[in-house]
Amino acid sequence: MNSNIFELEYRIPYYDVDYQKRTLITSLINYFNDIAFVQSENLGGIAYLTQNNLGWVLMNWDIKVDRYPRFNERVLVRTAPHSFNKFFAYRWFEIYDKDEIKIAKANSRWLLINTEKRRPVKINDYLYGIYGVSYENNNILPIEEPQKLLSIDIEKQFEVRYSDLDSNGHANNVKYVVWALDTVPLEIISNYSLKRLKVKYEKEVTYGKTVRVLTGIFSEQKTIVSLHKIVDEDETELCFLESVWFLNEKLS
Amino acid sequence: MNSNIFELEYRIPYYDVDYQKRTLITSLINYFNDIAFVQSENLGGIAYLTQNNLGWVLMNWDIKVDRYPRFNERVLVRTAPHSFNKFFAYRWFEIYDKDEIKIAKANSRWLLINTEKRRPVKINDYLYGIYGVSYENNNILPIEEPQKLLSIDIEKQFEVRYSDLDSNGHANNVKYVVWALDTVPLEIISNYSLKRLKVKYEKEVTYGKTVRVLTGIFSEQKTIVSLHKIVDEDETELCFLESVWFLNEKLS
């Protein structure tokens, strides 16, 4: 068990909620990315990585949301590096409301790479040390991969915008989710809540490129599942996503 | 002078900085929109407006930035409703760093409308009361309008995404700035700093519509000026923008 638990409070600002004043899942992912970066910087990870041409590349999200915080609500986000396994790091996130109720959780998998050679690098003792990860604990966090897309109902193109870019010059990981969810029909977004999101990243994408989202949607009872594949102009696969939507309960 | 000054602290998160780790101007505008909304809600303005089918529609921004805050920096944003003038409200914003140095300021102009009839409404006594605006002070804040675009160098299309929408179902005012700035060449964004931004809004735009940004760029000595016009599919004018860029000083 890693004791390097870090927490930050986030107040939900106006621009992080949708037209129903519910926080966007992409905003929750923004908080996860931010708190991971802040902790990594606090521990000296970012400085060490930069000096040694190393970087963490996000491979997977597996996110479960029970309740979306509302505008102006204050939530506590907790995270810790859970374990390392050769090239891979596992990190979890939890969101608590002011009554200490856990309203969302996420597991993530990251790959350590050499940023010049763009090749995986085995996680070394120094990184074990500063992230406080034990050698004994190399068990991985449970992360489900998205189901493969079999039939396409919707297709949409996006051009990578300047504001989509990360500090490394690639489209930020959350933008893949923005593009994918933008293909989900508004009647689903209005009447259903996204309770589970699985993302598998395959390849980065840069400024000015056009990406294409292929989406398949099927329903089972009170649930709708949307599957997404994102490809670039050469049909190279960039990302796979699966989102699970539950019908909102009507207030009587 | 209005004494209804309201302030909030913002920590600059990872997703609000560009690849040079400088805060995006669109993030600063997000903070302005957020703090205005929070103050308006605290004063009972939002509840009153909703009950009476009223709403504030943003007409103008005139923003000056001396220094962009960096990742993880904490800044204090201050705002107050300055004055009312018939249908129009004027609100100012200031951003201070931890040394109490003012690093940015903005003036804004808002129109009160009936949200059903989409018609301007004269600001009534009740709103003067709760916003703490005096009848004597009907002087307006200085707001410069963007210069008109005369020649077009760059043209780009954007589709209004779900994540672009405000809680009223229209594209959020900051998205017009996102679209406009996305047409500015990366070599300007990389080597220059945006120090002044003037925006004039003409018309709202809804989900799924395609907007077109027409951009003209000219330079004068160490300054580059970019002018933008945003139109919809019917060539209706939605927004005009002017941004002024100063060459970054090289560290020697």
Q: How much is the pLDDT for A110?
A: 97
Q: What is the pLDDT of residues B20-61, one digit of tens each?
A: 888 999 999 999 999 999 999 999 988 999 999 999 999 999
| CA–CA separation, B63 and B30 (whole Å) | 13
Whether the pLDDT of residue A250 is over 70: the answer is no
CA nearest neighbour of A6 among A45, A47, A38 = A38
- Select the residue from B172, B182, B209 to test the A interface by mutation, using most A Cβ atoms within 10 A: B182
Find chain B residues with C-beta within 8 A of A34's C-beta.
13-15
3-state secondary structure of B15: helix
d(CA B241, CA B234): 19
pLDDT at residue A133 in the model: 92
pLDDT band at residue A166 using 50, 70 and 90 as cut-offs = confident
Helix (H, G, I), strand (E, B) or coil at A39: helix
Let me know: does A200 contact A240? Beta carbons within 8 Å. Answer: yes
The answer to whether ipTM exceeds 0.95 is: no
> What is the tens place of the pLDDT at every residue in B168-216?
788 999 999 999 999 999 889 889 999 999 999 999 999 889 999 999 9
Please name the fold of domain B144-252: Thiol Ester Dehydrase; Chain A (3.10.129)
CA–CA dist A179, A156 (Å, integer)? 9
Residue A57 scores a pLDDT above 90: yes
CATH superfamily of A1-143: Hotdog Thioesterase (3.10.129.10)
Numbered ranges of CATH 3.10.129.10 in chain A? 1-143, 144-252
Which residue is closest to A207 within chain B, CA to CA?
A: B186
Long-range CB contacts for residues B115-124, cutoff 8 Å, separation at least 24:
B115/B53, B115/B54, B115/B55, B115/B168, B116/B53, B120/B87, B121/B54, B121/B87, B122/B86, B122/B87, B123/B84, B123/B86, B123/B87, B123/B88, B123/B89
Weakest-pLDDT range from A146-155, A160-169, B211-220: A160-169
Distance from CA of A136 to the nearest CA of B (A): 32
| A164 to chain B: closest CA residue | B18
Q: Measured between alpha carbons, how far is B149 from B240 in angstroms, rounded to an integer?
A: 8
* Tally of CB atoms within 10 A around B153: 14
On whether any CB of chain A is under 8 Å from the CB of B172, the answer is yes
| DSSP string of A69-98, one letter each residue | PBTT-EEEEEEEEEEEETTEEEEEEEEE-T
Q: What's the pLDDT at B234?
A: 95
pLDDT tier for residue B166 given thresholds of 50, 70 and 90? confident
Task: Residue B163: list chain A partners with CB under 8 A.
Answer: 18, 24, 26, 178, 181-182
Residue partners of A11: CB distance under 8 A and separation at least 6: A72, A73, A74
Residue from B6, B9, B15 to probe the interface with A (highest A Cβ count within 10 Å): B15
* Residue pointed to by tokens 């040390």: A129
Q: Which amino acid is at B121?
A: V
pLDDT value of position B226: 97
DSSP-assigned letter for residue A248: P
**Share of residues in chain A with pLDDT > 90 (%):** 79
